Amino acid sequence: MFAVIFGVSMRSMQLGTYDNMIDGAVRQYSGFIQIQDTSYWNDKTIDDLMTDSPELRSKITEIEDVNSVLPRLESFALISSGSKTKGAFLQGIDPMVDTQMTGISDKVVKGKFLEVGDDGFIIGQRLAAFLGINVGDTIVLISQGYHGVTAANIFPIKGIVKIPNPALDKVLLIGDIGTVQEFYGAEGMLTSLVVNIKNKNAIDEIIPQINEIMNDKSLIALSWTDMNKELKQQIESDNGGGIIMLIILYSVVFFGILGTIIMMTAERKKEFAVMVALGMQKKYLSAIVLLETIFLGMIGAVVGALVSSGIVWYFHDSPIHITGEMAGIYEQFGIEPVLMFSTDWTIIQAQFIVVFSLLILAVIYPMIKISTFKIIESMHS
Amino acid sequence: MSIITLSNLNKIYNEGTDIPVHAVNNVDLSFEAGEFSVIKGASGCGKTTLLNLLGGLDTPSSGNIIIDGVEIGKLSASNLTNFRMNNIGFVFQAYNLIPVLTARENVEFIMHLQHKSKKERKERALALLESVGLRDRADVRPGKLSGGQQQRVAVARALASKPKFILADEPTANLDTKATENLLDIMENLNKVEGITFIFASHDDRVIKKAHRLIELEDGKVIG
């Protein structure tokens, strides 16, 4: 029971936190698939843009498992207000379509979210705090525009958003794509098309279809793992540590179960011997012990699964917020300082199966003992 | 006619070592149906070993045991278990009732193994408990019964499978005088009225006094 509870809680927290990291870094920002100009990915300069094509967007949207295609124009700019200046990440979006994927409009904590054609910006809460600005204030943006054009203008702040990813929250400035294109002098140009997909596990099937539709060697479709190699490596490395911890937990659990079964067998040795002396076949006794152990194990595993489900659901709804120095460390790595719990039922299923398998493995011991014990010796034990 | 014949029976522990122990030494014996026999002798003389061999709970080093025409040494482990179930009743010194079962369930246990119907099991178990004076304690677990009562349940259990004979190893060793007399009266009555064959291993004078036949063992040998 406790093995399932510990296993599920540990794994759920780990995978939930990864999902949260991916969610923060991918779904709320880059998307799971992006289409870019091939040269943009290497240099990421405003000069390597792709032309927006409503026809291409429409065709990609028709692919099964694709929800929508979001135009983006992203670059950097200096943002200034009063005496404070900072490098900002400027993101031009289609407010109507983008928020369907990122849910960014729900994160507005002050003011209003953007409307199509809006000439103002919404700003990350931490960036706003750094600049000391509020809704209705103006900011100055200066940057290098498309093909050497100077980009500089004054914009009002329409709203403040709280972005879960702290690193992004410190630099993010979002505007309507038309306004951003005009600012950079890049009308009709994009840095990327973000493909909003229904199922993140279908990425490998969707990308070849996109490539076939594009049929253009100057464009490339990238998956989130291509675009976030560091995040992927970080998750894989941490996941490896988690799996080692699980193996240690399973080892402790296995020897715990085995110890209990050895003790139970030793305590009942005399009882088993009496049963066989009276006429019970050893194979039936083995079957009874096996069923009994499976039944007990099943009760423990089911109760464990139920209790852990409760724990997981509770912490999924009320995640653990990390505070103090540890929160600072998380933020340094651009991770929201929150321990999320995944409600993916396959975690419970996997832990249930593993613990149950360990039980079956451990039950081999009494099977061997029963098949080899001598009645007289066991009766006198 | 003999129902049990032992010929040239030996049981040697630590065989092949420097100090072999001859627990049963060239024993030739036979038992008739309806006997009330006691194997007596000092502690360590081989009574229990002989009874274990007789019951098929242990294997002899050499010699033959023929029960009702069947040489049990030639039976497979599985067939020997079935043979024990259908032909031999056991009463152990330490009662050896199954603690999680009630008195009636303990008596029914062998009948379960014999695939008797629920009705037959229940009726016979209650009748046997009646015969040992424990009808009213049928639904009580062994932990709540006295030593004498537990041993009477053990006798009822031994009779449940309708065995050809009952082996009782020091059945009175843990009982007080009153419980011993009560138990022996029940066994004697079963022997007289129902003709059940009893073979005891005991050095208890109260048991020996009841015996129709005494077999004396010394250092594994029959001396009388």
Q: How far is A271 from chain B (nearest CA, A)?
A: 6
Alpha-carbon torsion, ordered A299, A303, A305, A308, to 10 deg? -160
Using the predicted structure, report yes or no on whether residue A307 has a pLDDT greater than 70: yes
Q: CA of B214, closest CA in chain A: separation in Å?
A: 25
- Give contacts of A 268-287 with B, CB under 8 A: 270-271, 274-283
The alpha helices in B55-202, defined as continuous H runs, are 77-87, 103-113, 118-131, 147-160, 177-194
Instruction: State phi, psi for A51 to the nearest 5 degrees.
Output: -85, 135
Tell me the CB-side half-sphere exposure of residue A343, using CA atoms within 13 A: 9
What pLDDT, on a 0 to 100 scale, did the predictor assign at position A348?
Answer: 83
Indicate yes or no: CB of B77 within 8 angstroms of CB of A282.
yes
Helix runs in A64-202, H state only? 95-102, 125-131, 166-169, 177-184
User: How many structural domains is chain A composed of?
Assistant: 2
pLDDT exceeds cutoff 90 at A39: no
B84, B91, B111: best to mutate for the A interface, most A CBs within 10 A: B84
A239 shares its domain with A368: yes
B36 touches chain A (CB under 8 A): no
Q: What is the pLDDT of residue B81?
A: 93
Cα–Cα distances in angstroms (integers) from residue A118 to residues A54, A160, A175, B10, in the given order: 21, 15, 8, 106
Domain boundary among A216, A247, A273: A216
Q: Are residues A151 and A280 located together in one domain of the fold?
A: no
Give the separation between CA B193 and CA A169, rounded to whole angstroms: 98
Best-predicted range by mean pLDDT (A62-66, A79-83, A145-149, A233-237):
A79-83
If asked whether residues A180 and A277 sit together in one domain, one would say: no
DSSP B160-176: HT--SEEEEESTTTT--
* pLDDT tens by residue, A65-100: 888 888 999 999 999 998 899 999 999 999 888 887
User: What are A276-293's pLDDT values in tens digits?
Assistant: 999 999 999 999 989 988
Q: Evaluate if residue B105 carries a pLDDT over 90.
A: yes
Find the mean pLDDT for residues A200-205.
83
Average pLDDT, chain A: 86
| Same structural domain, A239 and A178 | no
Burial B186-202 (b: 16+ CB within 10 A, else e): bbeebbeeeebbbbbbb
pLDDT at B84: 93
Please compute the mean of the pLDDT values over residues A153-164 and round it to a whole number.
92
Helix (H, G, I), strand (E, B) or coil at B13: strand
Residue A51 lies in a domain: yes
Q: Both A204 and A268 in a single domain?
A: no
Residue range of the domain that includes A93: 39-216
The 10s digit of each residue's pLDDT in A105-118 is 888 999 999 988 89
Distance from CA of A369 to the nearest CA of B (A): 16
Answer whether residue A137 shows pLDDT above 90.
Answer: yes
Unique residue bearing structure tokens 């200066």: A142
Same domain assignment for residues A273 and A365: yes
> Considering the domain boundaries, does residue A304 fall inside one?
yes
Beta carbons of B222 and B38 less than 8 angstroms apart: no
Q: Quote the tokens at residue B85.
A: 């179930």
Whether chain A has a CB inside 8 Å of the CB on B80: the answer is no
Determine, for residues B81 and A274 on separate chains, whether the beta-carbon distance falls below 8 Å: no
Residues of chain B in contact with residue A281, where contact means CB-CB under 8 angstroms, are: 78, 81-82
Residue A117 inside a domain? The answer is yes
A179 and A66 in a single domain? The answer is yes
Within a domain: A27: no
Q: In what order do the strands lie in the sheet with B221-222?
A: B88-91, B165-169, B197-201, B36-40, B213-218, B221-222
What is the reported pLDDT for A333?
Answer: 61
How big is the CA angle at A36 (ends A151 and A210), to the nearest 5 degrees? 150
Let me know if residue A19 belongs to a domain. no
pLDDT band at A28 (very low <50, low <70, confident <90, very high): low
Whether A52 and A196 map to the same domain: the answer is yes
Q: Give the whole-angstrom CA distance, residue A19 versus residue B199.
A: 75
Cβ <8 Å between A270 and B96: yes
Mean pLDDT along residues A229-248: 81
Residue B76: predicted pLDDT: 93
